[in-house]
Amino acid sequence: MIFLGPVCFMEVSQREALLRQIEEEIRRCTRCRLHTGRTHAVPGEGRPDALVMFIGEAPGYYEDKQGRPFVGAAGRYLNSLLQKSGLRREDVFITNIVKCRPPNNRDPLPDEIRACSPFLDRQIEIVNPRVIVTLGRFALHHFFPGASISRVHGQPRWLGERLFFPMFHPAAGLYQPKWQPALEEDFRKLGELIRSLTTQEGVTTEEE
Ligand code: URA
């Protein structure tokens, strides 16, 4: 039996309420300069008790317009990768390292990441996912500073009670097709990993 950390017995309704509270704080947040340019903050969305959490970089143009993560071109590619892996978007939780769009989609700056990441840390604590998929180097570096994404992508590793699965960012595959085979293979491996975690003896999902 694999040790998957302490089981969190928080009710789904309680998680939902806590996540709503964080969302409201994010929508009102003025902790960094990014709030001045936002149309909508993008707190994230998904199952409050998801087994898998995906963490991207920052909202882009369409995410800022709609207030939802991964709804533009990278989001459509993410949806197709999820489908190939056998995971359903409605079963996972999707969020970003920073919750407001950087101007012209530039990289988020270190002080913006520092200001925003306490929201992410609280979301992780509440959803309590067993598996965290980092999409791109900013999400990877939040947990593994300095790690090289081209070396570690597709290789799950434990950190505390969670299994981390680093991936390239879907936008990398979209704009540089040479990364697509790696992304597709990593998502296939992720699907297998999730199926093995949920069927192993002694490993149960929280609603069971
Ligand atoms: N890229 C990201 O990293 N996050 C989004 O929500 C959309 C595009």
What CATH code is carried by the domain that includes residue 113? 3.40.470.10
Give domain status of residue 82, yes or no: yes
Scored b (16 or more CB within 10 A) or e, 93-119 reads: bbbbbbbbbbeeeeebeeebbebbeeb
| Angle value at C-alpha 72, between 56 and 133, nearest 5 degrees | 20
User: Do the domain assignments include residue 5?
Assistant: no
What's the pTM? 0.92
Q: Relative to the CA of 69, which ligand 1 atom is closest? A: 6
Task: Dump pLDDT digits (tens) for 145-160.
Answer: 999 999 999 999 999 9
Burial 141-170 (b: 16+ CB within 10 A, else e): ebbbeebebeebbbebeeeeebbbbbbbbb
Output the ligand 1 site: residues, CB below 6 A.
56-60, 63, 69-70, 74-75, 96, 171
Query: What SS3 state is found at 162?
Result: strand
Residue-wise pLDDT for 11-32, tens only, equals 999 999 999 999 999 999 999 9
The 10s digit of each residue's pLDDT in 107-119 is 999 999 999 999 9
* Domain assignment of residue 157, yes or no: yes
Q: Is residue 76 part of a domain?
A: yes
For residue 169, tell me if it sits in a domain.
yes
pLDDT of 45 > 50? The answer is yes
**Enclosing domain of residue 149:** 12-198
57 Cα nearest atom in ligand 1: 3
Q: Which residue has the tokens 């970003």?
A: 96
Is 40 contained in some domain? yes
Give the pLDDT confidence of 167-207 residue by residue, as tens digits: 999 999 999 999 999 999 999 999 999 999 998 744 444 44
Task: Compute the distance from residue 49 Cα to the ligand 1 centre, in Å.
Answer: 21
Name the phi and psi angles at 206, rounded to 5: -65, -25
Asked, for residue 4, whether it belongs to a domain, the answer is no
**CA-based nearest residue to 52, from 173, 133, 125:** 133
Give dist(CA 85, CA 135) in Å, integer.
15
pLDDT at 4 over 50: no
> How far, in Å, is the centroid of ligand 1 from the Cα of 94?
9
The dihedral through the CA atoms of 95, 97, 99, 100 has a sign that is: negative
Alpha carbon nearest to ligand 1 atom 7, residue: 70
Query: Could you identify the atom of ligand 1 that is nearest to the CA of residue 68?
Result: 6
- Residues in a beta bridge with 162: 159
- Sole residue written with tokens 């990278």: 74
Q: Which band of pLDDT confidence, cut at 50, 70 and 90, is reported for residue 53?
A: very high
Ligand 1 centroid, distance to 158 Cα (angstroms): 24
Answer whether residue 171 is part of any domain: yes
What is the best residue among 77, 96, 168 to mutate for testing ligand 1's pocket, by most ligand atoms within 8 Å of CB? 96
**Helices within the chain (DSSP H only):** 12-28, 61-66, 73-85, 110-127, 137-143, 149-152, 170-175, 180-199
80 touches 15 (CB < 8 A): no
With vertex at residue 142, the alpha carbon angle to CA 87 and CA 71, rounded to the nearest 5 degrees, is 40
What is the tally of structural domains in the chain?
Answer: 1
Q: Which residues contact 91 (CB under 8 A, 6 or more apart)?
A: 46, 47, 50, 51, 52
